[in-house]
Structures are given as C-alpha cells and as structure tokens.
Amino acid sequence: MISFGQYRNGNSFGHRLDARVKILAMVILSILIFQARGWEIYLLSAFLCAVCFISRLKFSAVREALRPLVLFAVLLFVMHLFFTDGTPLFPIPYLPVQITGEGLFRGLLISWQFLALALSGAILTMTTSPSDLVCGLESLLRPLRLIRVPVSDIAVMVSMALRFVPTLLEEYDRIKTAQMARGAEVETGRLDRRMKSLAALLFPLMVSALRRADDLAEAMEARGYARGPRTTMHQLSFGREEATALIVLGILLSLVVLSKY
C-alpha cells in the first residue's frame, strides 16, 4: 500500500505542533536543502532524522512513504552521472558516455536533495491532518487577500493535491501490475525496454488522473461546495512548543547562513 502523503494519527511533539509552524519550517528547510553543500548535508540529514524521532514516526512507515520515489532518485543520479561534463574517472567500453567526477558528485547531490525534500514533505503530511493543513495554509496566506488573491481556493487546491498523491501512486502501481501481467518488462529485462514500458504507463495514468479530477468536481458540486472564506473546526494556537520549534529552526538557519560567510 502507498503511504506517502497519508496522515498518521498520534500525540507526539510533531503532531501537536501548530500547522503554520510546520509549513514555515518546511519552506525554510526546502531553501536550505537546495543551498546545502559539504557538512551542511550531514547537518540537515541529522535534523530530519531527529524530527522523525521526536514525531514518533516508525522507520518502516517512513521507508514505505519514500519507497515509490527511490526509482526517480536513481534516475536522477544516473542522468547526472553519465551526462555531466568533467574529468573522466574511467572509460566505459563500447558506450558513447563516460563517468566523470563532477557527474558523480552532482548525481549524489541532486538525489539527496530530491529525497530530503520528499522526506520533509512526508513528515509534514504524516503529522498534520488535512483540515489543519488547509487552516494553516489559509492563515499564512491571509495577507495576500489585500491584493485580491483567492487564499481559500489556493489552500483547498494544495490540500487536494497532497491528498491525491497517494491515490495517484496507488493507481500507478495498479496500472504497472496490469501491464506486467500482459508481458510488459517493467521491472525485469534490459534497461531500454524497461524505460519504454515505464513511458507507456504515463498515458493511462494521465487519463485516470483526469477522470478522478472530474469525479471530484462533480462530488463537490453535489455537496454544495462554494468558493469564498469558510470557518474551520479546529482553531490553531501558538504556545510554548511552537516557540521552542521556532528557536531550534532559527539556530539551524543561523548555522547554515554563518557557514556561507
């Protein structure tokens, strides 16, 4: 079962934290991940592992959440490994490509950035209920109402996009299983045939996504959904735990920024 993006009920420090603080932390972490080099990579990796620990997220749950994305990380690594110009490490006979030191470093960096971003997003969605996530996004974007930005609609769209990530991944797994039953070489065979088989999965996956979007629109209309500001069941509050989280996040940000200068 695909578990990426699914909320897991709990009462840990990460679950109790205000959704606005967690969203702000994810944005800051995303910026730091893109700028990380050298020892900063180890620092941010340790920080993400510590967040998983204090949120009481089991290793098996995190592994299952990231497992569907490992293939994309491997593809990013291979693309940078073979197609980045630089100093060749060793020649590859009978192939028009070569492995360079710059490609190896770039591939490892991009793959780590991709998985670190995915992990931070998984922590956010696994410790924050969809209703709290919508409320937090709407609260953070509220100043944009002054320039007539539809904040409520943006919050709902982001929430639905996160909610449909595991649904689309499950649909991809179902289509892949059906193609393999028909003889497609998706997980076995030569690499070029596996790439062609994976490319053939994109069209039915796109059709399925559009069909689900149409069903969702009809369901929302049938239930009387209307645009505009709405009330929320849960009220967000800022307390001692939120202040502690912001202090720790500020220390992390200061360490990374000071290392640049």
What are 231-253's pLDDT values in tens digits?
666 677 788 888 999 999 999 98
Q: Which pLDDT score, from 0 to 100, does residue 2 have?
A: 52
Q: Which pLDDT score, from 0 to 100, does residue 223 have?
A: 83
Q: How confident is the model at residue 69 (pLDDT cuts 50, 70, 90)?
A: confident
Residue 208 above 60 pLDDT? Answer: yes
Mean pLDDT for all residues in the chain: 82
Tokens for 95, please give them.
């192939």
- CA angle, residues 119, 124, 130, in degrees to nearest 5: 135
Q: How confident is the model at residue 114 (pLDDT cuts 50, 70, 90)?
A: very high
Length of the chain: 261
Residue 64 above 90 pLDDT? Answer: no
In angstroms, what CA-CA distances link 174 with 69, 122, 201, 228?
16, 22, 10, 37
CA distance 247 to 241: 10
Question: What is the reported pTM?
Answer: 0.75
Residue 89 above 80 pLDDT? Answer: no
Q: Of residues 190 and 67, which shows the higher confidence score? A: 67
Q: How confident is the model at residue 30 (pLDDT cuts 50, 70, 90)?
A: very high
